[in-house]
Structure 1
Amino acid sequence: MNRAPSEFPPPVDSAAEFVGPPTDDPDERIEVGVAIVGGGQAGLACAIRLLQLLADDEELTERLGEVPVAVIEKGRVAGAHQLSGGVMNPSAIRELLPDDDSWPHYGEVKRETVYFMPNRKRAVPLKPTPPPFRNHGNYVVSVAELNRWLGEKAEELGAYILTETTGDKLLVEEGKVVGVRTGDKGRDKSGGEKGNFEPGSDVMAQATVLAEGCWGHLTGAALKALDLAPKDPQVWALGVKEVWEVEQPFDKVVHTLGWPLRAGAKWQEFGGSWIYGMNREGETPKVSIGFVTGLDWTDARFSVHDVLQEFKLHPLVKKILGDGKRVAWGAKAIPEGGYWAMPKLHAPGMVIAGDAGGMVNVPKLKGIHYAIESGRLAAETIYQQLKAGSSDFKGYEDAVYKSKMGQELYESRNMKQPFGKGLVVGGALTNAMVLTKGRFPGGHWPTHRDAEAPLRYSGREERYPKPDGKYTFDKLSGVFLTGNATRDDAPSHIKIQQRVPREVADAWTYMCPAGVYEVPEDAPAEGMVDLIVNPSNCVQCGAITAKGGRLTPPEGGDGPVYQIT
């Protein structure tokens, strides 16, 4: 029987566990003006724009208190958990900081090619380049590096960035969001208090911004508790990325479609690769290479990490990597539901920005500038409303949908869904949608939860190459490169049912790029399995939330410390 992970939901009630009133005594609460949860592009852009506006408004700055803007960031530094393919449209950052072009990048895109790979040997260039893949005028970036830069800019303007701090609970009183409770530190595996235990705190705010990224812990809780759920469920893709130092600069942006993915609709293997040159004067030339696939695949033993290893053995790719050296690795989920899966973006006292709100243009593979733009728009609405003494931020959602970002999201509203019919049919329909800006075929093509895809076996895992230490590598060697230092004796932040059918256990084990899940060696080939979970391996990619479990925040500071991803 083909079981789906959705039949085994995680043992967590997010609306009940992660939303509630403040619990600290009033004199122990931390008061801030605006609390921003997440130090990614959206959160930091929001902080920067707010502080730009407050610089000329002494009266409102005084009303917001000693800490007018606080950014709550779970990573060790801003950017520690940031990863993307990394080609950015510069329009939003230039709008945010028009007089400062010192943001870090690896050069403007001058050349690009899209290849269709019919098999493990051939690569056929698509000419002309399909419109969604045209990147002239965009820039290759490392979002981990870009975020550190944005963090510095925010701090220069007066933001308080609280790193190694998780947003654990959304504070709500009488239907209004009034802040965030931060997570405890220093608990043992069973949840008991260690000698260095530090309880979380109620951070009270006049406005709260949820900019948590793709899997949005508090966002997920808010959707249920505050009735913000979208028309369609959010769906995700999982990207696994490597950065290589290479002997010769690679001055091109390459995308590929086809192999190693299977084109048949029954496997739901929708995705492709990227290869970007990362060249900067005075530095060893590098290449960003990665593979991304929608998380609604149906093969219980499909692994994006291993597909990337397989992909690197294609002659085209081996030639680019040459005798290079892998220096970085990482993984991240990406929201792919688009327009129909965007939640309501505001509640009394609160807004949702960036990936947490599903703001990614799927056909163009672009979300960085949307995150920055949504953060800026959020800041402008919050400033206007707080100045007027109001916590009604509806104007932010209106601004998002009226912006160019909102228009583009609407035009691409149905461009992920056709690939459920397979690569050939899906590609043809998507091209028609691109050419007509979404008018044909129009209507509303619904999405379905990734975890609802029934699982099956095909023997696909037999194709995955064994690690050779030169081109192909195992999962744990990648985790080592992330700088992950999660405590072994910390409580598990991964909420799943651990006794599940073998196909669900296999699906989670193969899906996870970091080796978090293990099927015991003596487990039966069929029937129920008691899955082993290793939360200290987790790089917080968020894929388990899409595929039937729930990722909650770990202890602040745990997880990867990405540098150039």
Structure 2
Amino acid sequence: MAGANGNGRSTAPIAYPPPVDSPNEFIKREIDPEDEIIEVGVAIVGGGTAGLATANRLLQLLADDPEMMERLGEVPVAVIEKATTCGGHTLSGAVVRPGPLEELFPEMTREDWRKEGFAFGEVKKEAVYLTPTSKMSLRIPTPPPFKNHGNEVISVSALARYQQKVAEEAGAYILTETAATKLLVEDGVVRGIRSGDKGVGKDGEPGSNYEPGVDVVAKATVLAEGCWGNLTGAAIREFNLAEGSEPQVWELGVKEVWKVAKPLDRLIHTMGPWPLSISPKAGQIGGTWIYPMKDEKTGDDLVSIGFVVELEYADATTSPHDLLQTFKTHPLVKKILEGGERVGWGAKALPGGGYWSMPKVSMPGAVMVGDSAGMVDTMALKGVHHCIKSGILAAEAIYEQLKRGETSFENYDEAIENSSVGKELWEVRNARQPLQKGLLIGGPISGIHQITKGKLPGRASWHRNDAKPMYVGKTKNRYPIPDGKYTFDKLSSVFITGNENEDNTPNHIRVQTHVPREVAETWVWMCPAGVYEIPEDAPETGDVDVIVNYTNCVQCGAITAKGGRLTTPVGGDGPKYKLT
């Protein structure tokens, strides 16, 4: 059997679905009595870039319409965020096209952005390199997707903290450390969310500090959960929003921030193939970024460096974290980081399917914004400006419809399609799929689609990340031994995020714990936080047990692309990103 191990068992992660009763596990169909609920005007699930852009734009509109503000009640806008602060779980490159951010905050200049601490300089120089070997780099003309002149280097976690401050000053109610665990659906309409219980032990039983969740009932709900939102996934299935769409596919980015001795004067991308394998069998596609950052508050020269890997690979020993450590041993990188100090680390999955993988973005009573709806151009490594623009458009659509007394927000679908979001994603709608055939075969095809900016007709299809059989390959043999100064292991990296997951909380990761060795090795190597282990006495072939150290988890979401499922943790758990 193709893709089977010696015991005839499939080695494709899709063959080992996680124990999740979906979508029913994430939907509540009866609302609690009136005296037990919280009523708000608009409930926004997620305090990241997209959710807070929605909140701020909506509050701008309400500030000019006191009658409408009053109609929305004592809490016109509520943001439900599971981290300890907005931005605590938010991570991106990020070099941002400034237009949507300027539109959201027109009174601010770029200098104001830097004074607020979320922007670090305009891109004035850039370079793109091929890295054929561990010693060689070859500069090439900058491909169109990587032309960033005039864009701004930012920290999305810091931007979210600023957006939170502005929203609170305008009247938003920010519920941090609050997980949204169920979508309230009544008579085919989204009515809000159910927050998660607190104080529950790992056995599922209430402890001495138990606090039950509560129904947050809203006139409109915004799903801004980012990558792999549980409520978003449940909504997509409940309302059949992905009918006619391609399957969503995923990538994983691992990032470090360094304080450097010498400022970097340009933005750099590399396109490999090293340290990835060019073997079609390994199926590895990815790239890197190195961005200069000048902290105006401290005067420090910083560098953002990251590695993004498409999760379609087949070599189970592919580790995005260790590939980043390997990449740092290249002379091109070592001279940039020499004499520096690592001050930040993080990891996050991102949607890579683009235009054809986007679901319908509205449903009765609710809309989706940003990464929740897959609004990312992975050819250009760009999505933050789409998050902000979609938030603006969602707020305007919600305001318009609520003013009319409507709960249908289909005007938002049309607004997205006709906006810069829809137009930019349309241009590269077929550019990423050919790379699933490998860089050598797919690269030229992808280039043609990019050069023609979507003018070629047709629809390129995707195949799922978890459907490819896995094998235990040799990528692991090139990873450096961590020295703790320049290259680092996973657990020390998790430590510097300020990650907190209580030992006595329920496991929020769903995987089968007895699977073929190839699948288990995939999880062990892929996870940037060291969550998965194979016992030392496990057999070298056949089925093995999997140990899940869920308290290590930084909630990157990658496991959901390779046969498992990340569900919502207890509010307040997870990393505390500051510079990512």
Specify if TM > 0.5: yes
Residues in 2 aligned to 1:444 and 1:525: alpha-carbon distance in whole angstroms:
42
SS at match of 2:39: strand
Asked if the contact 1:250–1:279 (Cα under 8 Å) also holds between the matched residues in 2, the reply is no
Displacement of 1:168? 0.4
Corresponding residue of 1:172: 185
Residues in 1 aligned to 2:321 and 2:349: alpha-carbon distance in whole angstroms:
13
- Tell whether 2:129 aligns with 1:115: yes
Displacement of 1:424? 2.6
Corresponding residue of 2:384: 368
Corresponding residue of 1:220: 233
- Tell whether 2:113 aligns with 1:99: no
Residues in 2 aligned to 1:432 and 1:117: alpha-carbon distance in whole angstroms:
22
SS at match of 1:106: strand
Residues in 1 aligned to 2:330 and 2:337: alpha-carbon distance in whole angstroms:
11
Runs of at least 5 residues in structure 2 that lack an aligned partner in the other structure: 6-10
* Equivalent in 303, 325, 331 of residue 347 of structure 2: 331
SS at match of 1:98: coil
SS at match of 1:490: coil
Q: Which amino acid aligns with 2:505?
A: A
* Equivalent in 291, 296, 303 of residue 307 of structure 2: 291
Corresponding residue of 2:8: none
Corresponding residue of 2:499: 484
Corresponding residue of 2:368: 352
Residues in 2 aligned to 1:280 and 1:149: alpha-carbon distance in whole angstroms:
16
Asked if the contact 1:248–1:285 (Cα under 8 Å) also holds between the matched residues in 2, the reply is yes
Asked if the contact 2:31–2:184 (Cα under 8 Å) also holds between the matched residues in 1, the reply is no
Displacement of 1:56? 1.4
Corresponding residue of 2:269: 255
Asked if the contact 2:312–2:436 (Cα under 8 Å) also holds between the matched residues in 1, the reply is no
> Following superposition of structure 1 onto structure 2, how do residues 97-496 of structure 1 map, counting pairs within 5 Å?
97-101=105-109, 102-103=112-113, 104-127=118-141, 129-230=142-243, 231-258=245-272, 259-281=274-296, 282-440=298-456, 442-496=457-511
Residues in 1 aligned to 2:472 and 2:184: alpha-carbon distance in whole angstroms:
44
Residues in 2 aligned to 1:470 and 1:414: alpha-carbon distance in whole angstroms:
42
SS at match of 1:544: helix
Runs of at least 5 residues in structure 1 that lack an aligned partner in the other structure: none
- Tell whether 2:516 aligns with 1:501: yes
* Equivalent in 7, 11, 25 of residue 15 of structure 2: 7
Displacement of 1:464? 0.9
Q: Which amino acid aligns with 1:243?
A: V
- Tell whether 2:59 aligns with 1:59: no
Asked if the contact 1:265–1:420 (Cα under 8 Å) also holds between the matched residues in 2, the reply is no
Asked if the contact 2:120–2:295 (Cα under 8 Å) also holds between the matched residues in 1, the reply is yes
Displacement of 1:251? 2.1
Asked if the contact 1:330–1:482 (Cα under 8 Å) also holds between the matched residues in 2, the reply is yes
Asked if the contact 2:19–2:510 (Cα under 8 Å) also holds between the matched residues in 1, the reply is yes
Normalization by structure 1: what TM-score? 0.98
- Tell whether 2:552 aligns with 1:544: no
SS at match of 1:319: helix
Q: Which amino acid aligns with 1:126?
A: I
Q: Which amino acid aligns with 2:36?
A: E
Displacement of 1:105? 0.6
Residues in 1 aligned to 2:283 and 2:359: alpha-carbon distance in whole angstroms:
25
Asked if the contact 1:168–1:182 (Cα under 8 Å) also holds between the matched residues in 2, the reply is yes
Q: Which amino acid aligns with 1:241?
A: K
Displacement of 1:226? 1.7
Q: Which amino acid aligns with 2:214?
A: S
Q: Which amino acid aligns with 2:176?
A: T
Runs of 4+ in 1 over 4 A off after TM superposition: none
Asked if the contact 1:22–1:202 (Cα under 8 Å) also holds between the matched residues in 2, the reply is no
Asked if the contact 1:145–1:563 (Cα under 8 Å) also holds between the matched residues in 2, the reply is yes
Displacement of 1:24? 2.3
Q: Which amino acid aligns with 1:518?
A: E
Cα offsets for 1:135-174 (capped at 9, x unmatched): 0110011111111011111111111110000110000000
Worse-superposed segment, 173-182 or 521-530: 521-530
Residues in 2 aligned to 1:375 and 1:210: alpha-carbon distance in whole angstroms:
10
Residues in 2 aligned to 1:204 and 1:438: alpha-carbon distance in whole angstroms:
42
Displacement of 1:99? 1.1
Asked if the contact 1:116–1:125 (Cα under 8 Å) also holds between the matched residues in 2, the reply is yes
- Tell whether 2:86 aligns with 1:78: yes
SS at match of 1:479: helix
Cα offsets for 1:479-504 (capped at 9, x unmatched): 00100011011100001111111100
Cα offsets for 1:64-120 (capped at 9, x unmatched): 100000000011001000111111111001111111232331000011000000010
Corresponding residue of 1:561: 576
Residues in 2 aligned to 1:249 and 1:403: alpha-carbon distance in whole angstroms:
37
Cα offsets for 1:429-458 (capped at 9, x unmatched): 122111111223x31111111111110122
Corresponding residue of 2:41: 33
Residues in 2 aligned to 1:199 and 1:294: alpha-carbon distance in whole angstroms:
39
Residues in 2 aligned to 1:362 and 1:300: alpha-carbon distance in whole angstroms:
23
Residues in 1 aligned to 2:392 and 2:133: alpha-carbon distance in whole angstroms:
44
Normalization by structure 2: what TM-score? 0.96
Residues in 2 aligned to 1:403 and 1:333: alpha-carbon distance in whole angstroms:
25
Displacement of 1:323? 1.5
Displacement of 1:12? 0.3
Asked if the contact 2:472–2:521 (Cα under 8 Å) also holds between the matched residues in 1, the reply is no
Residues in 1 aligned to 2:438 and 2:18: alpha-carbon distance in whole angstroms:
30
Asked if the contact 1:75–1:559 (Cα under 8 Å) also holds between the matched residues in 2, the reply is yes
Asked if the contact 2:56–2:167 (Cα under 8 Å) also holds between the matched residues in 1, the reply is yes
SS at match of 1:265: coil
Displacement of 1:23? 4.2
Residues in 2 aligned to 1:46 and 1:58: alpha-carbon distance in whole angstroms:
18
Worse-superposed segment, 329-338 or 229-238: 229-238
Q: Which amino acid aligns with 2:514?
A: R
Asked if the contact 2:265–2:292 (Cα under 8 Å) also holds between the matched residues in 1, the reply is yes
Residues in 2 aligned to 1:399 and 1:197: alpha-carbon distance in whole angstroms:
43
Cα offsets for 1:163-208 (capped at 9, x unmatched): 0001100000000000000011111111111100111100000000
Asked if the contact 2:277–2:475 (Cα under 8 Å) also holds between the matched residues in 1, the reply is no
Asked if the contact 1:268–1:419 (Cα under 8 Å) also holds between the matched residues in 2, the reply is no
SS at match of 1:14: coil
CA RMSD of aligned residues (A): 1.0
Asked if the contact 2:50–2:224 (Cα under 8 Å) also holds between the matched residues in 1, the reply is yes
User: Structure 1 vs Structure 2: percent identity of aligned residues?
Assistant: 58
Displacement of 1:28? 0.9
Residues in 2 aligned to 1:404 and 1:485: alpha-carbon distance in whole angstroms:
38
Displacement of 1:412? 0.7
